Amino acid sequence: MIRIAIVTLALLVLGAPQALAQAVAPDTPAAPQLKELVVVSSEVVRIGDLVENAGPASDTPVFRAPDLGHTGSVPVARLIDTLRPHGVTGVETGGLSEVVVTRESRTYAARDIVERIASAFAGQFGFGEAKNLAATLDREVRTLHVEPTAGELSVARMNVDARTGRFDIMFEVPGSAVARRLPLRFTGTLTETVEAATLVRALRRGDTIKQSDVVVQRRSKAEVGDDPLAADQAVGLALKRQMRAGQALRASDAMRPEVVQRNEPVTMIYEAPGIVLTMRGKAQETGAVGDLIGVVNGQTNRTIQATVVGPGRVAIAGSRPFVSAALDQPAQPPTP
C-alpha cells in the first residue's frame, strides 16, 4: 500500500511541470477565415484584404483590384489555390462560393458635373445665381470615378459666348492619376431660368385664372422676360389674350378681371352724407374693380366719370356740402 502511494505521488509530481507549462503556454493562433465582402482603395488586392488572421502574408498582393468604383468577385476554389504557395492554409471558408471585391472611389455623377458648370459661370459674363442656371451638355456624361484621396473637381479653363450661352469648360482633379486619362472637357449651352406660373390648360381672353390652372415651372428667362408671374400672383387675374397650355405667364399677360363691359347697362350709385341715390346708366368703357370709366347718365344723357365697384355697378363721387366748403375758405375782411 505504501509503495502504491509513493508511485502515485511521483506521477503527480512528474506531471505538475507539464500541466503548468500548458497553463502558461500562449493561445493557439486563430485560424485564417475568408471575408465575404471586401473593399479596397489601392490598385492591388492583398491577402490581408481577403483573409482574416492571414499572419505574415497579409501584405502580399495577389490580385489586381477592379476599376475605380467597380465590383468583382473571386471564386473560393481559385482563392485557396492562390493562398497556398504563400503559406496560408487551413482557411475557413464559411460555406462561401466566392468573395466580392469592390474598389473604393470618389464619384461625380452627371448631375454633379452640371452643378459645377453652373457654379463656375454664376455671377460672371452677365449670368445670375447658380440656382437659376441650367447647363445642357452636348454629350451624355457617365459617372466619373477618381481615387478617394484625390482633390476636388476644379476648373482648369472655361469660356462662354454670353449672347448664345455656348460654353466650353475643362476640369481637373488634383492628385488623381486616373483623372488625367478621363474626358474632363465639356461643351454645351448655358441657359438662365426663372420660376414662372405655367398654364396646364388653354384659356381665352378674359378667363379668370384659378389655382388648378397653373403649376410652377422653371422656364428660360429669354422666353419669360423680366416680368415672370408667380403662381400666387396669377390666381384671380384674367388673361389679356388667348393662351395655350404649357405657356409661361408674364405680368403683361394678365390683368384684373373686367367686371364691366363697354356699352353694358350699369347701376350708378351716388352717396353723400345721409343720401344714397341709384340710377341707370351705360358704360362707355370696359373696366375692372377700381378703374375709373366714362358712364352715360340715363336721365341726363351726360357722360360722367365713375369708379367700378363690382359687376354692373359704378360709384359716383359725392360733392361736399356747401356749408363745409364755405368753412374751408379763409376768413375775408368785411367790405367797407
Determine the length of the chain.
Answer: 336
pLDDT single digits (tens) 114-163: 999 999 999 998 898 999 999 999 999 999 999 999 999 999 999 999 88
Q: Does domain 194-255 have CATH number 3.60.150.10?
A: no
* Contact status, residue 32 vs residue 53, Cβ threshold 8 Å: yes
Q: In angstroms, rounded to a whole number, what is the distance separating the alpha carbons of residues 308 and 305? A: 10
- Return the closest-CA partner of residue 158 out of 191, 188, 203: 188
Question: Do 194-255 and 258-322 fold alike per CATH?
Answer: no
Report the predicted TM-score, pTM, of the whole model to 2 decimal places.
0.60
Q: What is the pLDDT of residue 274?
A: 83
**CA–centroid distance for 20 within its chain:** 71
Instruction: Return the pLDDT at 115.
Output: 94
Note the pLDDT of residue 188.
Answer: 96
Q: Which residues pair with 146 in a beta bridge?
A: 106
**pLDDT at position 206:** 87
| Residue numbers in the chain where pLDDT is lower than 70 | 1-28, 318-336
- Segments making up each domain of the chain, as ranges: 33-104, 108-193, 194-255, 258-322
> Cα dist. 101→88, 205, 210 in Å?
19, 65, 57
CATH of the domain spanning 258-322, picked from 3.40.190.150, 2.30.30.760, 1.10.260.40, 3.40.50.300:
2.30.30.760
Per-residue pLDDT tens digits for 165-201: 999 999 999 999 889 888 899 999 999 998 899 999 9
Contacts of 249 (CB under 8 A, 6+ apart): 196, 197, 198, 199, 209, 214, 228, 229, 234, 243
Please report the pLDDT score of residue 27 as a whole number: 60
